[in-house]
Amino acid sequence: MKSLVMKNKYLLLLSFILVGSSRGIGQEFKRVYQVEKIAKSAWYSCVLREDLRGYCASDFSDIRLYKAKDTAQEIPFLLREEELTLTEKNTDSLALKSIRYSIHNKNTKTTLIKVFSAQPQWIQVLSIHIDSARYFKREWRAYEKSLVRTKPRKKVWQETPIVHNEISSYGKTIFPLYHYLRDTIFIEIYNLDNPPLPIIDIKFFQKKLKLFAYLEKDEEYLIKCGNSALSQPRYDLSSFAKMIQDSAVNSLEYNDITTAYLKPKAKQNIRFYEQKYFVWLCIILGVSTLFFFSLKMLQEKKNEE
């Protein structure tokens, strides 16, 4: 009797393990990018654009580099942010294209700017372009809103401050705003008894993020990201950051091949134990065996009575 109970426990544990393994196998990269062909073996750098960074974890821990012919072995790389320098000539090219905003004036006392993005993004600099040389000096703040609870016919929101600053005709209109924009933030300008500021444009920027790696001639490489199960990789290259950055005089581009790479799963050589049908077969066998022994145990207990 006790042995059957023990078997029952082991089988139940086995079923949980199988279910867990099926979930683990299902966790994959959301985006895949192909690096341009390597002309010669050397250290290379690659600027990771906003379209890639928007699919990454906030700390970029899920970025991986592979040879296209061997996606089981990681290629060590180094990630480094560059300082952001804004001028009148480069603000358009550096601005984040995926972030939008809308402006609302509320009783002329405040100007409310709603900022939203379809993808999570780091924003590190904010630029507000005012179409006027007249004298003005206004305080402004940026904050997030989150729904904490819903009362009957009323939603209760909680504000989380991000930054508080001042904009003026004789001061700066470019501000640091180091924040991970997950969805929406709000910028509020206090007009007091003044008319609303004539805002022409608002731009958001992020520091350049560069990937450094030693790549071999005639090899094809893939950058993958968007796997929440991964943690920050630990490579030896971090101990030689300065030397590597000085050596990487060659820069590369990459293309998004996610659709072409991930769709034709059936044509790829997938190991039999990675197939979904194998995982579900194991789960069904485990549950069936568990049911059989449970039924047998109940039958034996009934006979003893």
Question: What's the pLDDT tens digit per position in 108-138?
Answer: 799 999 999 988 999 999 999 888 767 899 9
* Alpha-carbon separation of residue 193 from 50, 74, 111 (angstroms): 40, 60, 12
Q: How confident is the model at residue 274 (pLDDT cuts 50, 70, 90)?
A: low
Name the residue with tokens 């995982």: 279
Taking 70 as the threshold, does the pLDDT of residue 4 lie above it? no
Most confident of 106-120, 171-185, 212-226, 260-274: 212-226
Measured in whole angstroms, the distance separating CA 185 from the mean position of its chain's CA atoms is 18
Task: Give the mean pLDDT of 49-53.
Answer: 90
H/E segment holding residue 238: none
Task: Give the mean pLDDT of 254-275.
Answer: 71
Task: Give the mean pLDDT of 177-188.
Answer: 93
The upper half-sphere exposure of residue 89, i.e. CA atoms within 13 Å in the direction of its Cβ, equals: 0
- pTM > 0.75: no
Q: How confident is the model at residue 97 (pLDDT cuts 50, 70, 90)?
A: confident
More confident residue, 85 or 275: 85
Q: How confident is the model at residue 12 (pLDDT cuts 50, 70, 90)?
A: very low
Q: How confident is the model at residue 25 (pLDDT cuts 50, 70, 90)?
A: very low
DSSP state of 157: E
* Residue 14 token pair: 């086995």
Q: How confident is the model at residue 270 (pLDDT cuts 50, 70, 90)?
A: low
Q: What pLDDT is stored for residue 192 in this prediction?
A: 92
Q: Which three-class secondary structure state does DSSP give residue 273? A: helix
Q: How confident is the model at residue 276 (pLDDT cuts 50, 70, 90)?
A: low
Task: Give the mean pLDDT of 19-28.
Answer: 48
Q: How confident is the model at residue 269 (pLDDT cuts 50, 70, 90)?
A: low
H/E segment holding residue 94: helix 91-94
Q: What is the DSSP string of 104-139?
A: EEETTTEEEEEEEESS-EEEEEEEEEES--S--EEE
CA geometry: angle 230, 235, 236, nearest 5 deg: 170
- Computed on alpha carbons and rounded to an integer, the radius of gyration of the chain in Å comes to 28
pLDDT digits (tens, 9 = 90+) for 190-243: 999 998 999 999 999 988 899 999 999 999 999 999 998 899 999 999 999 999
**In one letter, which amino acid is 62?**
D
How far, in Å, CA of 34 to CA of 66, rounded?
10
Taking 80 as the threshold, does the pLDDT of residue 261 lie above it? yes
Taking a C-beta distance cutoff of 8 angstroms, is the pair 131, 137 a contact? no
